[in-house]
Amino acid sequence: MLGYILTTDVMLLEAKMGVLDKLKIVAMVTKTKGTVEHERRKKLAGQLTEQLKLAEAALGGVAYQRTKAAWDTDADGNRYRVQRPVKLRQWWTVGDGGVAQFGVRYGAVPLQLQPGKAAVEVAKLADLPAVIKTLLQADEAGELDAAVAAAMGLRGAKTDKTVTAKA
């Protein structure tokens, strides 16, 4: 009998509640943009991940091809989405004796990991994914921030290229 009364009370209470009252409503937290270093780390991590996929595919004997979405127009003028392949360049070279060198880049600029040294040497190509994973860990820890900042400094500041008329 007591269980029936409690159940009836709960049903009456739920009947009085609105649908939104059942949800936990909170204030929206605004999304803040990361610091410059965080954005640079994220970009470098994305590039290193692409190289990792490319290296694993090369070792597995399969072709890795990244695609991007693009718009195409047919003969009637209708636009539709298509997937287009993106050309990826491998950041490593294999020299004599199977020794590979992996050059880290930020965009198109080679990173100097130590003064005058911009590549990591690997004894054999099979060890390359482990080296790339180590570089990803170094990027997450912020160990490559100085090299990225130096590379960005070499790029030069963007300037206003408008021509002013002479009086």
Give me the pLDDT at residue 160, please: 46
Evaluate whether residue 9 is within a structural domain. Answer: no
| β-strand partners of 106 | 109
Evaluate whether residue 4 is within a structural domain. Answer: no
For residues 134 and 139, what is the distance between their CA atoms, to the nearest angstrom?
A: 9
Expressed as residue numbers, the domain containing 149 is 36-155
| 48-88 pLDDT tens trace | 999 999 999 999 989 889 999 999 999 999 999 999 999 88
Evaluate whether residue 141 is within a structural domain. Answer: yes
Evaluate whether residue 124 is within a structural domain. Answer: yes
**Phi, psi angles (nearest 5°) of residue 3:** -65, -35
Q: Quickly count: other Cβ atoms within 10 Å of residue 100's Cβ.
A: 20
| 105-149 pLDDT tens trace | 998 889 999 988 999 999 999 999 999 999 999 999 999 999 998
Evaluate whether residue 48 is within a structural domain. Answer: yes
Helix (H, G, I), strand (E, B) or coil at 20: helix
Evaluate whether residue 84 is within a structural domain. Answer: yes
Evaluate whether residue 102 is within a structural domain. Answer: yes
**Total domains present in the chain:** 1
pLDDT band at 96 (very low <50, low <70, confident <90, very high): confident
| β-strand partners of 93 | 101
Give me the pLDDT at residue 36, please: 86
Helix (H, G, I), strand (E, B) or coil at 150: helix
As to burial, measured by CB atoms within 10 angstroms (0-12 exposed, 13-18 middle, 19+ buried), residue 31 is exposed
Give me the pLDDT at residue 18, please: 75
Give me the pLDDT at residue 162, please: 40
For residues 53 and 91, what is the distance between their CA atoms, to the nearest angstrom?
A: 12
Evaluate whether residue 21 is within a structural domain. Answer: no
Contact 88/50 with Cβ under 8 angstroms?
yes
| 141-154 pLDDT tens trace | 999 999 998 888 86
